[in-house]
Amino acid sequence: MLLGDYNPGGKLPVSVAHNAGQVPVYYSHPWGSGWHQSESIGFTDYVDCPHRPRYPFGFGLSYTSFAYADLEISREEVPAGESVEIAFTVENTGPVPGDEVAQLYISDVYASMTRPVKELAGFARVHLKPGEKKRLAFTLHTSQLAFLDQDMKWKIEHGQILVEAAASSEDVRLSGSFRIDGDMWIAGKSREFWAGTSAVSIR
């Protein structure tokens, strides 16, 4: 690996802090807390270290590079309880073959309860030769965005949902949005936890 005979493709399952003073630091913290406040509170650092982690969730290294393009969201408005398809293209723009772990994040922009800044909705690991492209498609069910409301019932809530195609939780390459139309309460056991994925080679 150090000599380039093997090209790594793994990504971090946690955020890595600069030092113990930053802990806890994680990508899915609630709105208004942690290092995502950044410049909005008048300063960009803690007393002696940055707001942001040394290595964010989903970070990884490779001997090649990847480009993301052509984000498509199949529906602008999605009734609660239904699904939406999100697709984008990943291309190997570097000189050697490699694996990319493309990540899909979702954010509930305006919710009646405190929600995470972003959540990992799905990912796809694809092997690409130099110049090769693949079209990745994620099927996202609105129940993935359900949360426990004030009555401790699982609620799919209407509102705007931000979608991000990213190489890590910080390295966002493409973004878009859709709206959930209407509210719906569901049984906890009926929730979807992961977006289904597919990958197709394109020319």
Q: How far is Cα 171 from Cα 93, in angstroms, rounded to an integer?
A: 17
**30 and 38 Cβ atoms separated by less than 8 Å:** no
In this prediction the pTM is 0.88
Q: What is the pLDDT of residue 195?
A: 92
* CA dist 33 → 25, 38, 117 (Å): 10, 10, 9
As a whole number, mean pLDDT of residues 5-11 equals: 87
Burial group, residue 11, by CB count within 10 angstroms (0-12, 13-18, 19+): buried
DSSP label of 168: S
Give the tens place of pLDDT for each residue, 12-46. Answer: 998 888 877 777 766 666 655 555 555 555 555 55
Delimit the CATH 2.60.40.10 region(s) of the chain. 66-202
As a whole number, mean pLDDT of residues 82-97 equals: 97
**Sorting pLDDT into bands at 50, 70 and 90, what band is 203?**
confident
| pLDDT exceeds 90 at position 157 | yes
Other CB atoms within a 10 A radius of the CB of residue 30 amount to 12
Percent of the chain with pLDDT over 90: 68
Please state the CATH superfamily assignment of the domain spanning residues 66-202 in this structure. Immunoglobulins (2.60.40.10)
Q: Which residue has better confidence, 119 or 38?
A: 119
**Sorting pLDDT into bands at 50, 70 and 90, what band is 120?**
very high
Which residues does residue 54 pair with via DSSP β-bridges, in sequence order?
none
